[in-house]
Amino acid sequence: MNDFLTIIGAGLAGSEAAWQAAERGIHVVLYEMRSVSRTAAHKTDNCAELVCSNSLGNNLPHSAPFILKEELRSFNSVVISSGDRNSVPAGSALAVDRELFSKEITKKISNHPLITLKRQEIVEIPDSGPVIIATGPLTSPKLSKEISQLIGQEYLYFYDALSPIVDANTIDYDTAFFASRYGKGGADYLNCPMNEKQYYDFIRELNNAEKVPMASFEKPVYFEGCMPIEVLAERGPKTLAFGPLKPVGLINPHTGKTAFAVVQLRKENKESSAYNLVGFQTKLTYPEQKRLVRMIPGLEKAEFFRFGAIHRNTFINSPGLLSNELELKSRPGTYFAGQIIGVEGYLESASMGLLASLSAVAKILGKDYIPPPRDTALGALINYLTTSNVNNFQPMNINFGLFRIGEIKIRDKKERNQKIALNALEKIQKWEQELKCSIGSTA
Ligand SMILES: Cc1cc2nc3c(=O)[nH]c(=O)nc-3n(C[C@H](O)[C@H](O)[C@H](O)COP(=O)(O)OP(=O)(O)OC[C@H]3O[C@@H](n4cnc5c(N)ncnc54)[C@H](O)[C@@H]3O)c2cc1C
């Protein structure tokens, strides 16, 4: 066993893992292939690049994603602190300027005296650990093959879709209006209102539009929260109006009324020069995206910075393969973290980088490591990943259904969630204190 930590992949999980270990005095060698090789979704060489939405999820106090954020904050997470510092207004969500966010993380990682960032594609898993594999849903094909051999099985997969980003200068602000749903969090979203006829015309054209075909041998499996709009539209003509295009809580100041449907746009950066279409993931062909998006009132002249796209997203069957320390049962010293283990979401991925790192650091220092309790968001995710049914394992975001609620038997949902949040934060702080005594802290 080495006295340094090897990490493969400087995405959300790998960057967090490197930071946590280095801040505890452990030397880290972090490999990242971008700049010598690309993935199908990343656009830059930055560490922790956000490939699709620029949102790090709900930041409303006492929501499950908020609890996860608070837990990360209590560990001085590099991902959440950079997110907080580079936030852009987004109602109750924590959205970030993606460029500034990942540049800040890249700088912190590159400048850390105990982190050596190597730009190299790893094609063989090092046989002397500890090593954390954090290569994400778009792991390079050669390494994917190696991992399949190591775990002795094929990957599981699903499809993740990206939504388009448009140029702010090409939006018609006489039609689109700024507002957040129910006025929560300021007028942070730009809303394109549709009347009934415009909506049904749009649905008709969407159903007829040309889509990028899937490989003939693959079943199209989507993550429910990332379903392409054309797939949702196939479920029925009203599905989008009750889903990502729901108009509730949004009064159009031009008419004083609520529209039949609304397409929401969220700022991409601090300068507000780009907007992404919220929940508008799509695998339509590019010309069809242009045609369909330009049917939306306010976006008739929209120019695109990025078109929507679809990507295969792979993950391992963690419940059968990993211990609750995120270590491969069949090869101690090899850890997995991030989306590749079946969490879904930027912060969930970073969280697993944090935990795999703490676990590996404990091993290097010869200390015991006990994972966080299940009444915390971090512990709830670990429990899901390692105790779910191996025959039906699916990626998961943080949600209240995963927490151990124990003695909390309160009927009122808001009150119950507040209590779960308080309990989680109390427990995570206690856990952090215990760890601090054995493996140190980032403070
Ligand atoms: C198309 C798509 C859209 C998504 N949209 C969202 C979204 O909107 N919101 C959200 O919360 N989540 C989204 N996700 C899910 C997930 O949150 C992100 O994929 C997240 O980046 C996962 O973090 P990670 O650290 O596990 O992987 P990544 O952030 O992808 O990091 C993995 C890193 O490993 C590197 N790498 C890969 N192979 C090698 C190798 N052989 N050697 C060296 N380096 C290697 C990659 O270049 C990459 O930098 C999306 C995923 C996909 C695929």
Cα 141 to Cα 14, 29, 235, 336, 404: the distances in Å are 18, 22, 34, 17, 38
**Token digits for 438?**
């054995």
- CA 159 to centroid of ligand 1, rounded, Å: 13
| Alpha-carbon span 162 to 43, nearest angstrom | 13
Rounded to the nearest integer, the mean pLDDT of the chain is 92
pLDDT tens digits, residue range 233-246? 999 999 999 999 99
**Token digits for 170?**
């090409």
Closest ligand 1 atom to Cα of 40: 1
Q: Does 351 lie in the same domain as 292?
A: no
Reply yes or no on whether the pLDDT at 129 is more than 70. Answer: yes
**Single-letter residue type at 112:** H
The verdict on whether omega for the bond into residue 130 sits within 30 degrees of 0, i.e. cis, is yes
**Token digits for 289?**
């995206």
- CA 43 to centroid of ligand 1, rounded, Å: 12
- Do residues 272 and 93 lie in contact, with contact meaning Cβ atoms separated by under 8 Å? no
Among 311, 332, 352, which residue terminates a domain? Answer: 311
- CA 137 to centroid of ligand 1, rounded, Å: 5
Reply yes or no on whether the pLDDT at 224 is more than 80. Answer: no
Q: Does 78 lie in the same domain as 191?
A: no
Q: Does 148 lie in the same domain as 17?
A: yes
Closest ligand 1 atom to Cα of 347: 11
Q: Does 270 lie in the same domain as 206?
A: yes
CATH number for the domain that contains residue 27: 3.50.50.60
Closest ligand 1 atom to Cα of 143: 41
pLDDT for the residue 214: 66
pLDDT tens digits, residue range 150-177? 999 887 777 777 789 898 989 999 999 9
Mutate to test the pocket of ligand 1, among 36, 105, 346, 399 (most ligand atoms within 8 A of CB): 346
pLDDT for the residue 219: 64
Residue nearest to atom 20 of ligand 1 (CA): 346
Among 249, 284, 311, which residue terminates a domain? Answer: 311
- CA 136 to centroid of ligand 1, rounded, Å: 4
Torsion of CA 315, 317, 322, 324, to 10 degrees: 90
Q: Does 385 lie in the same domain as 261?
A: no
Q: Does 426 lie in the same domain as 343?
A: yes
- Classify strands 28-32 and 115-119 as parallel, antiparallel or unpaired: parallel
**Token digits for 152?**
């002795």
Rounded to whole angstroms, the maximal C-alpha distance in the chain is 68
**Residue with tokens 């990360």, as numbered in its chain:** 72
In 233-382, beta strands by DSSP E: 251-252, 257-258, 261-267, 274-277, 304-306, 309-315, 334-336
Reply yes or no on whether the pLDDT at 266 is more than 60. Answer: yes
Q: Does 125 lie in the same domain as 173?
A: no
CATH number for the domain that contains residue 220: 2.40.30.260
pLDDT for the residue 409: 78
pLDDT tens digits, residue range 388-439? 888 878 788 898 888 887 777 788 888 989 999 999 999 999 999 999 988 9
| Alpha-carbon span 148 to 315, nearest angstrom | 11
- CA 339 to centroid of ligand 1, rounded, Å: 7
- CA 35 to centroid of ligand 1, rounded, Å: 15
Helix or strand run (H / E) with residue 412: none
Using left for φ > 0, alpha for ψ between -120 and 50, and beta otherwise, residue 303 falls in: beta
Reply yes or no on whether the pLDDT at 217 is more than 60. Answer: no
| Alpha-carbon span 297 to 274, nearest angstrom | 17
Closest ligand 1 atom to Cα of 397: 11
Q: How many CB atoms lie within 10 A of CB 25?
A: 12
pTM: predicted TM-score of the whole model, two decimal places:
0.81
pLDDT for the residue 272: 84
Q: How many CB atoms lie within 10 A of CB 131?
A: 24
| Confidence tier at 443 by pLDDT (50, 70, 90) | low
Q: Does 294 lie in the same domain as 388?
A: no
Rg (CA), the chain: 22
Full strand arrangement of the beta sheet holding 261-267: 177-178, 190-194, 261-267, 274-277, 165-167, 304-306
pLDDT for the residue 30: 98
Q: Does 188 lie in the same domain as 249?
A: yes
Q: Does 200 lie in the same domain as 59?
A: no
The count of C-alpha atoms lying within 13 angstroms of the C-alpha of 148, restricted to the half-sphere facing its C-beta, is 13
- CA 249 to centroid of ligand 1, rounded, Å: 33
Q: Which of 179-183, 269-273, 358-362 has the lowest mean pLDDT?
A: 269-273
Q: Which of 101-115, 116-130, 157-171, 336-350 has the lowest mean pLDDT?
A: 157-171
pLDDT for the residue 170: 93
- CA 171 to centroid of ligand 1, rounded, Å: 30
pLDDT tens digits, residue range 333-371? 999 999 999 998 999 999 999 999 999 999 999 999 999
Residue nearest to atom 22 of ligand 1 (CA): 339
DSSP structural state of residue 224:
G
Tell me the three state secondary structure of residue 243.
coil
| Alpha-carbon span 267 to 274, nearest angstrom | 6
Average pLDDT value for residue range 371-386: 95
**Token digits for 120?**
């190299």
pLDDT for the residue 91: 86
pLDDT for the residue 157: 75
| Alpha-carbon span 73 to 347, nearest angstrom | 11
Contacts of 293 (CB under 8 A, 6+ apart): 164, 166, 277, 299, 302, 304
| Alpha-carbon span 65 to 81, nearest angstrom | 15
Average pLDDT value for residue range 87-96: 92
In 230-362, beta strands by DSSP E: 251-252, 257-258, 261-267, 274-277, 304-306, 309-315, 334-336
pLDDT for the residue 92: 86
Q: Which residues are near ligand 1 (CB < 6 Å)? A: 8-14, 31-34, 39, 41-42, 51-53, 121-122, 134-140, 143, 160, 162, 311, 313, 338-340, 344-346, 349
Reply yes or no on whether the pLDDT at 127 is more than 80. Answer: yes
Structural domain tally of the chain? Answer: 2
Q: Does 255 lie in the same domain as 126?
A: no
Contacts of 241 (CB under 8 A, 6+ apart): 199, 247, 260, 261
Among 311, 330, 361, which residue terminates a domain? Answer: 311
Domain limits for position 290: 162-311
Q: Exposure string (b/e) for 322-360, b if CB count within 10 Å is 16 or more? A: bebbbbbeeeebbbbbbbbbbbbbbbbbbbbbbbbbbbb
Tell me the three state secondary structure of residue 44.
coil
Q: Does 9 lie in the same domain as 141?
A: yes
